[in-house]
Amino acid sequence: MSTKEIETNAIKMVAAGKGILAADESDGTIKKRFDSINISSTEENRRSYRELLFTTKGVEEFISGVILFDETIRQSAKDGTPFPTLLAGLGILPGIKVDKGAKPLAGAPGETVTEGLDGLRDRLKEYYDLGARFTKWRGVINIGEGLPTPYAIETNTHALARYAALSQEASLVPIVEPEVLMDGSHSIETCYEASEATFKCIFEELSKQRVLLEGMILKPNMILSGKDCSSRAGVEEVAEQTLHCLKATVPDGVTGIAFLSGGQTDEEATAHLNAMNAAGPHPWELSFSYGRALQAPALKAWVGESDNVSNAQKVFYHRAKCNGAARSGSYSAEMEKEVAAA
């Protein structure tokens, strides 16, 4: 393990004004996204779409790292440049999703555990050699009647910590992603309770498994009302509750927190991050690691047509710029009009 390398890269990942693009959609997820614009999820279409994102002019101003999928880290741009090399040339750190997805947790109806620890040490070495400098693993926590159970929280956080320790051993920065889902009609208070229990447990496990806090990034959910809640909390309340939860659970030694968007609209995810940074300073950098909330407008603008690449890149750059501004609390709703006027 190169402690200096992982600490340096963790700092780069949450550099001022920048965040992480999650482009690690599994085969099933990217198919759903492509279905929504009526194009086939072929290897070439996936490659072309990722190249559109990665070659957007100026995107390195706001993107510090990109999480890749196993297929994508092995792909190249049209000119033959491997994607990890292309990104590194822009000063963007290539990363890799290493988990194998959430599967039903034995003895716990309605709950899951993320798999992928078997053979992980060897896969991490290969990914490092392919150019990856950080990793990602997602643990999923469901809210429901009697859920989450302590069993599901403990099982998922134990796996997250094992993954993190193995990543650091391989000189890779682990993104530790415990996601309390916003699916359901629960209140923001219920989300807070489930998130607080999960975040406390993850740091207990990370400590037990000797994970270096200065060489990791936390990727948590924000504290939100359920998607189907009849009275959803507003921006200021989300920011306040999220900061309160993090301050109660996350040690100051953690380099940065890069939120997932988790079902929020593009503009909601940006506004919530902005409100939290406007209330700073905080012990850690508060950044973003968004997938759909960064990509959705670009995907809609592209619809698989090469003639639309330029316009799709324009809207992707705009979304990245808005989130870059939210990193310092300087985003405003007025910024949303810029892309329409351009």
Nearest to 258 by CA among 229, 289, 279, 231: 289
Spell out where the chain has E strands.
19-23, 63-68, 93-97, 102-104, 112-114, 134-141, 173-180, 217-218, 256-259, 285-290
Annotated active-site residue 177? The verdict is yes
Active-site pick, 12, 97, 136, 219: 219
Burial class (CB in 10 A: 0-12, 13-18, 19+), 89: exposed
Task: Name the token pair of 87.
Answer: 């990104």
Active-site pick, 25, 51, 177, 179: 177
Task: Name the token pair of 274.
Answer: 């902005």
CA distance 175 to 135: 6
> How far is it between the farthest Cα atoms of the chain?
55
Burial class (CB in 10 A: 0-12, 13-18, 19+), 109: exposed
Which residues does residue 82 pair with via DSSP β-bridges, in sequence order? 76
Contact call for residues 154 and 197 (beta carbons, < 8 A): no
Burial class (CB in 10 A: 0-12, 13-18, 19+), 27: exposed
Which amino acid would we find at residue 323? N
Annotated active-site residue 126? The verdict is no
Q: How many CB atoms neighbour CB 93 within 10 A? A: 24
- List active site positions: 177, 219
